[in-house]
Amino acid sequence: MVERRVTVGWAEGLHARPAAVFVRAATSTGVPVTLAKADGNRVNAASMLAVLSLGVRGGDEVVLTCDTADAEVVLDRLARMVAEGLDELPETV
């Protein structure tokens, strides 16, 4: 299992628009990714309700995990998106 710990760069955290952007990005990877607060339960990163239920705020640390062959690349891209508060996945890491 590959893991990335990252501080949320969106000022409003993973609420409303940023959560939707993140969920779309997680879904577009085509692999199962989980998201959790630093010391909390993991949820499906492709589920809007699950992501919103975490109550992630700007500056919170979150943990992204994935267990596939390309997990390193997938998590690096998602982690960069979350850390920088980007509106779409970066093309390269």
DSSP state of 54: T
Report the C-alpha gap between 59 and 49 in whole angstroms.
21
Q: Which of 3, 15, 32, 89 is catalytic?
A: 15
Active site residue 15: yes
- Cα angle, residue 91 at apex, residues 87 and 61 outer, rounded to 5°: 55
Query: Which of the residues are catalytic?
Result: 15
